[in-house]
Amino acid sequence: MTNAIYGLIAEFDNPTALVMAARAAREKGYRKLDAFSPFPIEGLTDALRLHKNKLPLIVLTGGIIGMLTGYFLQYYITVVSFPINVGGRPLDSWPSYIVITFEMTILFAALSAVLGLLGLCGLPMPYHPVFNVSRFALASRNRFFLCIESADPLFDRARTGDFLRTLEPQEVSEVAH
């Protein structure tokens, strides 16, 4: 029954109000909530407990894979597949491999940072229910939104709405699916 809508969204006109509201909603026990702002707000990350993400691990893994790829690509080519003996110098001339190993590390790490960012955010996602709220276009300009999703166990259309209205928002609207 509550799933008829995606959730309820409250609009604020400054970042402080949004952070306060997010904190209040957490204290009230709501967990399925998200905030939307035109720029990153540090306090909001605290308020919603969003500090940990897996991106550093993804980038580290990408970097290590890149490093190994870079080194062994050169090792394989210069030692196994296309050895050239220049005056009896060793085929595995690792000092000359450092530059390309380094570049490949950076390349793979950067690619995994961007793909990891998209993956963790679930982007690209051209459609999202919050876009149905006509005033939501201002979330990329100068307005700040807090959305409590109907999937939250505490969600109740009337009571959650009343709660959001106590936070002195500009407006509270329903988010259609």
Partner 1 sequence: MPETPQLVEPPPQADIAPGYTFGSVTDQISAVVLTKRTPIFWMLCFGAGFGLLLLFLLSVAVLFAKGTGIWGIRAPVMWGFAITNFVWWIGIGHAGTLISAILLLLNQRWRNSINRFAEAMTLFAVACAGMFPVLHLGRPWLMYWLFPYPNSMGIQPQFRSPLVWDVFAVSTYATVSLLFWYVGLMPDLGTLRDRTKNRVGRMIYGVMSMGWRGSARHWSVYETATLLLAGLATPLVLSVHTVVSFDFTIAIVPGWHSTFFPPYFVAGAIYSGFAMVLALAIPLRKVYGLQGLITDKHLENSAKVMLATGLIVAYAYILENFTAWYSGDVYEQAAFWHRLTGPYRHSYWALIACNIVLPQFLWFKRVRTSPVLLFVSSILVLVGMWLERFMIIVSSLAQDFVPSSWGYFHATRWDVATFAGTIGLFLFLFFLFIRLLPMISIFEVRTLLPQAKVKEERG
Question: Contact positions toward partner 1, by CB under 8 A?
Answer: 14-16, 19-20, 22, 34-45, 48, 50-51, 53, 55-56, 59, 73-74, 77-78, 81-82, 84, 93, 96-97, 99-100, 102-104, 106-107, 109-111, 113-114, 116-118, 120-121, 123-128, 130-131, 136-142
Q: Name every residue whose Cβ is closer than 8 Å to that of residue 101 and which is 6 or more positions away in sequence.
A: 67, 70, 71, 74
Considering beta carbons, is residue 64 or 121 the nearer one to partner 1? 121
Q: Say how many C-beta atoms besides its own lie within 10 A of residue 9's C-beta.
A: 28
Q: Would residue 153 be called left, alpha or beta, if left means φ above 0 and alpha means ψ between -120 and 50 degrees? A: alpha
- Least Å from the CB of residue 171 to partner 1: 17
Considering beta carbons, is residue 16 or 166 the nearer one to partner 1? 16
Considering beta carbons, is residue 1 or 84 the nearer one to partner 1? 84
Taking the C-alpha atoms of residue 61 and residue 56, their distance in angstroms, rounded to an integer, is: 9
- Least Å from the CB of residue 127 to partner 1: 7
Q: Say how many C-beta atoms besides its own lie within 10 A of residue 158's C-beta.
A: 7
Taking the C-alpha atoms of residue 45 and residue 29, their distance in angstroms, rounded to an integer, is: 17
- Least Å from the CB of residue 6 to partner 1: 13
- Least Å from the CB of residue 74 to partner 1: 5
Taking the C-alpha atoms of residue 86 and residue 97, their distance in angstroms, rounded to an integer, is: 16
Considering beta carbons, is residue 74 or 160 the nearer one to partner 1? 74
- Least Å from the CB of residue 1 to partner 1: 26
Peptide bond into 124 cis (omega under 30): yes
Considering beta carbons, is residue 106 or 156 the nearer one to partner 1? 106
Amino acid at 166: T
Taking the C-alpha atoms of residue 20 and residue 53, their distance in angstroms, rounded to an integer, is: 23
